[in-house]
Chains A and B, each alone.
Chain A
Amino acid sequence: MPVELDDSSTVSGDASVSSTGNQNPPPKSAGKKKRNLPGMPDPDSEVIALSPKTLMATNRFVCEICSKGFQRDQNLQLHRRGHNLPWKLRQRSSKEVRKKVYVCPVSGCVHHDPSRALGDLTGIKKHFCRKHGEKKYKCEKCSKSYAVQSDWKAHSKICGTKEYRCDCGTLFSRRDSFITHRAFCEVLAEESAKNNHTQSNKLYPETVIRKNLPEPELKSPAAVDSPPSVALVPAPAVSVEPEPEPEPEPEPEPEPQPANIASSSVLPIPDSSESPENNTLEVVMEEAPRTIGLNGSNDHSNNNKSLYAGLFASSSSTASPSLYASSTPSSSRYPPSSSMEPISLCLSTTSPSLFGATIQDPPPHFLTPMSLPPPQPAISATALLQKAAQMGSTGSGGSLLRGLGIVSSTSSPMELSSHDAGFGLGLGLPCSSGTGLKELMMGNSSVFDPKQTTLDFLGLGRAAGNNPGGGGGGGLSSALWGGGSGMDVFGSGELSGKDIGRRSS
């Protein structure tokens, strides 16, 4: 272990070395010395225990000639030079100086024990102040107070400068907690839902959940899921396997009940595309609603899979790379609402600043295909869902929810946006669909506010008006998770055995 030969060198400078247990090593001097971790001192070092008074004394280093006090040894040495001492007296004693480590005088403190002493005087002083001292310095902007002035200054510099504010009003000081929150923030989802509603009836990037079967042959739909971005990539192997034509039709083939969910894939459909692609898109989108369905619905056992496949089947049959290759964003097509900035939605490249900068911006509107007429499918999604809801609903939706263990009330009641086009789960607004679902599952009665004409995508408002509370939610949940008995266990995330029994009865 290197021994500190020169007492005058301050190890840490201003680095904050010494909050208890905090192991930030001080900034390294030129050439990396192997340092002991702060608080784990070199066993050969000399332990110095200073009294609190001495510790807090500001001028420990005293000039022997004029008795002037200095805070740092370096400063004292500099001062001594001015006294024109003869050479001999100028030098410090050249004996080997043992490394000194310092303990905190407060008993019970972690650093009171010599084995956890700190190697630096400034460090121990700061530690003593921070941990055992009175917090005299208060930040004006926030409520934090500090005992050590340098801490306070350091904080004031950054206080309020880096702030991330979510649209729901929550403030974050760290970007990663902000991002994590934002990913799930329902208020955010609601807003983007509202924004998207103004563009009306647009199908959403398909965040469809597919039931996947473990058999390998059904993997191909999963591969198909990814054409949009994969198509842009020179890796055609992944991409679009030409789906057999039957895919778009709702498959009558029975799906085994244990439905492993395959992929919720996103279909990032660019804002603008040339007209031929538009037509294709339209075609794709039009097909999709026919296959909308929730697994619980008995008539459409395979709809999710086919929904997926349906979306991509036609895309695969056309030159799918071109579909999604359009990289020219044109937000003119989607006049952003006043709160939003035009954002490039191209898949290929975009300037990083768009993404980096958009953190604070209002949520980008979802990628949606262009100018699609509201699909008029043979069986409307709304009807399907209502059917599913009726079938799934046991009339005791509330207890159903309770049985699923989802009882807790949510923190903030959400206001769901109204949609008149009742789109299916996968085609609605993904976030808000999640929201709506969650709200329903939570049995939040504010969801079924009679004042609202409809409930978002589910179109359950009409039904829910008659079936308040968990009925719609229960139905939906059963629909979503498959009417079968087995998988509901997993669909809810966690169910005990008795709950299964209750559900299937």
Chain B
Amino acid sequence: MNKAMILNPTRPVWPGFSSSKSLCGDASCMEQLLLHCANAIESNDATLTQQTIWVINNLASSDGDSTQRLASSFLRALISRAATKSPAFSFLSAASASRETLHRFSVMELASFVDLTPWHRFGFIAANAAILDAVKGYSSVHIVDLSLTHCMQIPTLIDSMATQLIDKEQPPPLLRLTVVLAESPPPPLLGISYEELGLKLVSFATTRNIAMEFRIIYSSYSDGLSSLTEQLRLDPLVSNEALVVNCHMMLHYIPHETISSSRSSFLKELRDLNPTMVTLIEEDADFTSSNFISRLRSLFNYMWIPYDTADTFLTCGSEQRQWYEADVGWRIANVVAKEGAERVERLEPKRRWFERMRDAEFTGVGFGEAVEREVKAMLEEHAGGWGMKSDVDDSDDVERFVLTWKGHSVVFASAWVPMSRVDGCSYIEALEIG
């Protein structure tokens, strides 16, 4: 691992500061150090940068406790930022976490990965429940799965469809799955082709007696998935078909206003397709600040969570943890060291997403108590720190679920239906009325 090449470490400027790990093991101290370093970098102060790096380097460790590992990732990212920023930092070698070194998960590995913590399963359960409810009665269900987890949500959806959408009169609906393949997807990287993945999913659906189609559309998040929406518009209208767009931690890769207005336009284009339901699951954090220091602060106050949870389910030094933390490190490096269009990790907080959805003429639907119980039952199986809260959004009085770790928000889950354009009531209400 490339650390900064410091030839002449100078004494740290803080008197009485000891580099003993026990002193600065806790997160707030580490945060301060990292912020100092960030400030030094932003002000092009090579000496101070060098000093702070040296200090943090002594405290951080990729094998230590969660704070140390977190700091180690941050340090690497900061060094990378400094090195690419200005010639003043030419003494640093930029060791960025390139995607080539990231682990490529086999399908089996990914399947077990998504269940190590509730991070993804939380959203899966909520979204699948909402989807199932929304597609009852349709003979064809078209799911557009925009998921970070490469369709890991689909097997349980297929299974639920097979068991719950069967009744005497009707066969289970046809399932059409559309996925998007982007050129440089973010981690976790899948080691097989999407074609293969599709094959497996379709065979699985067969075993559950669900007829399924699988389609890959090449599209890019950086342009707001324009080729996807275009393709969806061109799709022939199928009678009695439900269109569901499942957005699982991918929409934040669509640039937002600092780069372009793609994020809002995508949502509006979605609305124009009149989907039966849109499920939006995202991480609840704010990495959008253009001020680097505040961005770093938000990043730190969110990214401690994956490192902390890793301690609960992954043993020290295990390969899985290395993969997991490498992926997290990539994201940290992206927020810290990249700028402009290269910086793709632009998480927005929940309320901002909800504003966008409402602006795009969607209205929220709640998940219901049964789903809440299901999510909680799932959380019981995991470490004690996981929890969920059910927040009512004042603007639309709909309960939304938020996954929490030790009380801190991690992921939110929400379900949306198009608002009727006629008189502003929800689409479903409009159907009932007229």
Binding site for B on A (CB under 8 A): 19-24, 37, 39-40, 110, 116, 130-131, 173-174, 176-177, 179-186, 189, 192, 205, 207, 209, 212, 214, 216, 219, 222-223, 225-226, 228-230, 232-235, 237-238, 258, 260-268, 345-350, 352, 355-356, 363-364, 366-367, 405-408, 410-411, 430-431, 433-434, 437-438, 441-442, 480-481, 489-494, 496
The complex places the Cα of A234 from the Cα of B138 at a distance, in Å, of 11
CA distance A174 to B218 in the complex (A): 34
When A and B form their complex, what is the total count of cross-chain residue pairs whose Cβ atoms lie within 8 Å? 290
Binds A, one of B166-174, B286-294, B331-339: B166-174
A131–B384 Cα gap in the complex (Å)?
9
* Bound complex: CA A434 to CA B203 (Å): 10
Instruction: Assess whether B140 is interfacial by the CB under 8 Å rule.
Output: yes
| CB <8 Å contact, B202 and A207 | yes
Q: Is the interface of A mostly helix, strand, loop or mixed?
A: loop
Contact A265 B211 (CB under 8 A): yes
Considering only CB atoms and an 8 Å cut-off, how many residues of chain B contact the other chain?
A: 91
Do A233 and B387 have beta carbons less than 8 Å apart?
no
Is B111 within 8 A of A183, CB to CB?
A: yes
Chain A to chain B contacts (Cβ below 8 Å), 12 pairs: A39-B407, A110-B406, A177-B111, A180-B114, A180-B155, A184-B111, A184-B200, A216-B234, A238-B174, A265-B212, A367-B206, A406-B192
Cβ contacts under 8 Å, B140 to chain A: 226, 230, 233, 235, 238
Given contacts A232-B171, A493-B190, contact A264 B99 (CB under 8 A): no
Identity of the chain B residue whose Cβ is nearest the Cβ of A225 in the assembled complex: B213
- B204, A263: Cβ atoms under 8 Å? no
Q: How far is it, in angstroms, between the C-alpha of A260 and the C-alpha of B173 when the chains are bound?
A: 24
| Chain A residues near B134 (CB-CB < 8 A) | none
Closest to B109 in A: A411
Q: A430 and B199 in contact (CB under 8 A), knowing A21-B407, A180-B115?
A: yes
Q: Are B236 and A350 in contact (CB under 8 A)?
A: no
Max chain A Cβ within 10 angstroms of own Cβ: one of B202, B236, B238: B202
State which of B202, B387, B405 has its C-beta within 8 Å of the C-beta of A24.
B387
B293 to chain A, nearest CB (A): 26
B52-60, B100-108, B261-269, B345-353: which lies at the A interface? B100-108
Shortest Cβ distance from residue B298 to the other chain A in the assembled complex, whole angstroms: 20
Residues of B within 8 A of A234 (CB): 139
| Cβ-defined contact, A347 with B209, below 8 A | yes
Q: 0/1 per residue, B271-288, Cβ < 8 Å to A?
A: 000000000000000000
A179 touches B176 (CB 8 A): no
Question: Which residue of chain A has its CB nearest to the CB of B384?
Answer: A19
Which residues of B are in contact with A by a Cβ distance under 8 Å?
Answer: 99-100, 103-104, 106-109, 111-112, 114-115, 121, 124-125, 139-140, 152, 154-156, 158-159, 162-163, 166-174, 176, 181, 183-185, 189-196, 198-218, 231, 234-236, 238-241, 376, 378-379, 381, 384-389, 404-408
Q: Beyond A39-B407, A186-B108, A347-B171, is A492–B203 a contact (Cβ under 8 Å)?
A: no
B163→A23 contact, CB < 8 A:
no
Pick the contact of A260 from B193, B200, B204, B217 — CB < 8 Å?
B217
| In contact, B195 and A233 (Cβ under 8 angstroms) | no
Contact of B384 among A20, A184, A348 (CB under 8 A): A20
Whether the pair B192, A438 counts as a contact (CB closer than 8 A) is: yes
Give Cα A223 to B213, complex, Å: 10
Known contacts A366-B207, A494-B190; A442/B386 CB under 8 A: no
Chain B residue contacts of A350, Cβ below 8 A: 166, 209
B313 → A minimal CB distance (Å):
13
Chain A residues positioned under 8 Å from B405 (CB to CB): 21
Partner of B139, one of A233, A261, A480: A233
Ranked 9 nearest A-B pairs via Cβ: A183-B155, A263-B213, A430-B203, A229-B211, A23-B387, A21-B406, A233-B139, A19-B384, A183-B204
| A47: min CB distance to chain B, Å | 17
B384 and A22 contact, CB distance less than 8 A: yes
Known: A23-B389, A355-B163, A441-B192. A261 touches B215 (CB 8 A): yes
B203: chain A residues at CB < 8 Å are 189, 205, 207, 266, 366, 430-431, 434
Closest chain B residue, CB of each to CB of A215? B234
Residues of B within 8 A of A176 (CB): 115, 121, 124-125, 156, 378
Q: Which of B125, B155, B404 has the most CB of A within 10 A?
A: B155
- A192, B155: Cα distance in complex, Å: 18
User: A207-B199, A222-B215, A350-B209 are contacts. A492–B407 as well, Cβ < 8 Å?
Assistant: no
Asked whether, in the complex, the Cβ of A348 is within 8 Å of the Cβ of B171, the reply is yes
Given contacts A355-B166, A434-B196, contact A226 B213 (CB under 8 A): yes
Of chain B, the residue at the smallest CB distance from A433 is B199
With A130-B384, A179-B159, A406-B191: A228-B200 Cβ-Cβ less than 8 Å: no
Contact B218–A116 (Cβ < 8 Å): no
Decide: B387 and A235 in contact? CB cutoff 8 A. Answer: no
Docked-complex contact A491 and B111, CB < 8 angstroms:
no
> Could you say which residues of chain A place their CB within 8 Å of the CB of B240?
233, 235, 238
Closest to A325 in B: B171
- State how many angstroms separate the Cβ of A344 from the closest Cβ of chain B: 8
Apart from the given pairs A173-B381, A222-B215, A223-B236, 15 other A-B contacts in the complex at a CB distance below 8 Å: A40-B407, A179-B156, A184-B204, A219-B235, A226-B174, A226-B176, A228-B211, A229-B210, A230-B139, A260-B218, A266-B202, A411-B109, A434-B200, A438-B196, A492-B193
A345 to B168, CA, bound (A): 15
Q: Bound complex: CA of A179 vs CA of B172, how far in Å?
A: 18
Asked whether A493 and B152 contact (CB < 8 A) given A181-B108, A266-B206, the answer is no
